Amino acid sequence: MCENRNTPFQIGEVTIPGRVIFAPMAGVSDLPFRLLCREQGASLVCMEMISAKAITYKNVRTAELMETSPAEAPVSLQLFGCEPEIMESACRMIEDRPFDILDINMGCPVHKVVSNGEGSALMKNPDLIEKLVAAAVSGTSRPVTVKIRRGFEEGSENAVECALAAQQGGASAVAVHGRTRAQMYSGKADWTCIARVKEALGIPVIGNGDIVDGPSALRMMEETGCDAVMIARAARGNPWIFREVNAYLTDRTTPERPARRAVIQMLLRHARMLCDCKGEKIGIREMRAHAAKYLVGFPSAARVRNMVVKVSTLEELEQLMKKEYPYA
């Protein structure tokens, strides 16, 4: 009999019902898509990263990013910043918001974040990592986690040192992306650094990088010993990946892929949820990128994607899908 690798585990006092987590992604892991991923089996969903400094400035846009729903619990709220005092202050200011885990981003590779000493730039300074985590821990009653990379660049792979600093600061779990900042999202993820972090730490370690299906998720867990896997880009246009990975980790079965009709229905449902959440103008604009991912593998997908980027209303999108894929 196959070992069930999808059992509940703990992050601090929070019980995570399974081992498959939806990663925080800027511009992607908003409330509508988190709800869809949770519905399809994500054991924990993570918000897109939010500036600790913007929270202290009471930025309206930031408040919108922190909107949650009881239906998505457990949910992790991710902050980014590099100043311990501001991190602690931001944590105290959001203490009454409904979320379960507080995460600190130490892996974002984007230049405008790194140039401010935030995101993956923090991996250059493990001492600061410990101070940031300690500041967050002192400012919140929730478990604090961090997300790091293999290192900042080739030749300075210090994931273990940074993870140990986070643990020393009081972190309850660490997620490790097996690429350096210099790699961005290109090349192959190196899972050996995840294994080294797991061996060094006494708290849960979550593996991230190149998880695209059930077999790759199981392989990462077996090769690294990580406690859970985190799925990012492979979930775009494919929230079903969570039910598929769950099934494979549980009993090595693989559910049938959704029929094209179901994919189009999900695409349109996602669009309606975005419009309800953000208004039609913004919702449809953001849905264009999501739709391109849903349509991968469809007949005439390239042509239809070129048409999707021109729609400006929900009705136009619905009519386009009805015309191009009438079976849906």
Whole-number CA gyration radius for the chain: 20
- Type of residue found at 205: V
- Residue 69 CA to residue 31 CA, distance in Å, equals 8
Judge whether 108 counts as a catalytic residue: yes
Q: Taking CA 18 as the corner, what is the angle to CA 40 and CA 98, rounded to the nearest 5 degrees? A: 75
Picking from 90, 69, 95, 94, the residue whose alpha carbon sits closest to that of residue 80 is: 90
Catalytic site residue from 37, 82, 91, 108 = 108
Q: Taking CA 241 as the corner, what is the angle to CA 237 and CA 246, rounded to the nearest 5 degrees? A: 160
Q: Measured between alpha carbons, how far is residue 69 from residues 168, 270, 296 in Å?
A: 32, 16, 29
Which residues, listed in sequence order, are joined to residue 79 by a DSSP beta bridge? 50, 104
On whether the CB atoms of residues 31 and 69 are closer than 8 A, the answer is yes
Extract the tokens encoding 294: 């849903």
Q: Which residues contact 132 (CB under 8 A, 6 or more apart)?
A: 81, 82, 84, 87, 104, 122, 169
Picking from 24, 10, 18, 25, the residue whose alpha carbon sits closest to that of residue 41 is: 18
Q: Which residues are catalytic?
A: 108
